[in-house]
Amino acid sequence: MSTAINIGAQAATSPVAGPTTSAGSSRVVPKTMRAGVYREKGVVRVEEVPVPEVGPDEVLIKVAACGICGTDIKKIFHAYVPAPQILGHELAGTVIAIGPGHTKWRVGDRVMSFHHVPCGGCFYCHRRLFSQCAQYKTTGLTGGFTPNGGGFGEYVKAMPWVAERGIVALPDNVSFEEATFIEPINTIVKAVEKARVAAGESVLIAGCGPIGLQLLMVARLSGAQIYTSDPMAIRREKSVQLGAIESFDPSNGKLVETVKARTEGRGADAVLVAVAHPAVVIDALAAVRPGGRVLLFAANDPVTKIEFPASAVGIDEKEILGSYSAAADIQEEAASLVLRKNLPVLDIVSHIYPLDRIQEALELANRPTAESLKILIALE
């Protein structure tokens, strides 16, 4: 049996070569494929399932790699969605078939695909609240069953609105592993912009897991001074390697006073919360200065309740902000950070698992160790 790959440097993936063909064409596409199918709470089984059929204006992608996202973990291990489903939305691969009428992409193109694309014309889209758009909430990328990304399967189908506006071309010098970061980095850029992180500000990032480290990478581009916190020493060390000025252990009970000591007693200008735990939000509100901003990135499930002193908002005028999913109008800007290699995204990839060991990969992502960070699934 193959083993997971531990990597600390850039993974090398050869571009897929092959002829390009006209619209309505395809390479040889099998009738069935292997996919990790979410069957019950905490359980994903590798099964043989039908390859999605491509209709007019649709595109079929052969998946090469897919990242495991925290939302995948919540859906699987907390049963937030009904089974069966094929999850996985941080994916990249090669166009292998195009439906009648589609002219934008060609067979053989190396691409990544978003799974949500807004309509662009509704009340929410006009206000840049793309993730609240009704069409955005309709998943347009599927590997079968109820559409939910599908990247944990060998093939995914992009529906017309995604095929037209949600696919990004990959240059030959960008590996599929790198390209799996394009969607999550978009969500990170959106969050940092929403938190209004600015040059010269002191920013605390609470949590140095994969999301926290990506927030660090992007927030640094603003010129802010970044501090981090995490109970795992190895993750704190990683954040410093990636540019944090200093990283603190919140388990010693001194996080708030330490942050204030670094900021002339005021507190951080902004705190970006990358941990889905109510107690961390309370610490964040205490660590941010009056009039500062606390952005909740990870606290987005439907059951977690958070209590905090009303005076923190009503008297100290601290803002609590939320940021969810990607933004369509920064798609090119955010993708370029990965495509131009402005961010060391592969430095946070700790494991790459083959599809037949997806359950093991998911369990590690659900219960991370000191050695684990971002985990990818390799499908070819």
The helix/strand/coil state of 142 is strand
Mean pLDDT of 310-316: 97
Q: How is the chain split into domains, by residue range?
A: 5-185+327-378, 196-322
Sequential DSSP letters for 11-64:
PP-PPPP-----TT-BS---SEEEEEEEEETTEEEEEEEEPPPP-TT-EEEEEE
pLDDT at 41 over 70: yes
Q: What is the pLDDT of residue 253?
A: 95
Closest CA to 170 of 111, 102, 218, 115: 111
d(CA 220, CA 256): 22
Task: State the CATH class of domain 5-185+327-378.
Answer: alpha beta
Mean pLDDT of 17-26: 46
Closest CA to 168 of 105, 218, 107: 105
| pTM summary value | 0.92
Helix 358-366 and helix 70-77, axial crossing angle in degrees, nearest 10:
100
d(CA 10, CA 352): 12
d(CA 120, CA 132): 11
- Cα torsion at 244, 248, 250, 256 (round to 10°)? -90
Beta pairing partners, 34? 48
Confidence of residue 12 (pLDDT cuts 50, 70, 90): very low
Closest CA to 294 of 318, 274, 277, 311: 318
Q: 10 Å Cβ neighbour count for 29?
A: 15
As a whole number of Å, the end-to-end CA separation of the chain is: 15
d(CA 351, CA 135): 34
Q: What is the pLDDT of residue 79?
A: 93
The per-residue pLDDT for range 225-257, each reduced to its tens digit, is 999 999 999 999 999 999 999 999 999 999 999
Q: Which residues of 220-255 are buried (b: 16+ CB within 10 A; e: fewer)?
A: bebebbbbbbbebeebbebbeebebeebbebeeeeb
From 38-52, 207-221, 294-308, 344-358, the region with the lowest mean pLDDT:
294-308
Pick one of 3.55.40.20, 3.40.1160.10, 3.40.50.720, 3.90.550.10 as the CATH number of 196-322: 3.40.50.720
Beta pairing partners, 167? 113
Question: Is cis: bond before 84, omega within 30 of 0?
Answer: yes
d(CA 139, CA 111): 18
The per-residue pLDDT for range 164-189, each reduced to its tens digit, is 999 999 999 999 999 999 999 999 99
How distant, in Å, are the alpha carbons of 62, 109, 114, 150, 157 from that of 141?
Answer: 13, 17, 8, 7, 6
d(CA 203, CA 215): 11
DSSP designation for 87: -
Write phi, then psi, for 325 (nearest 5 degrees): 65, -165
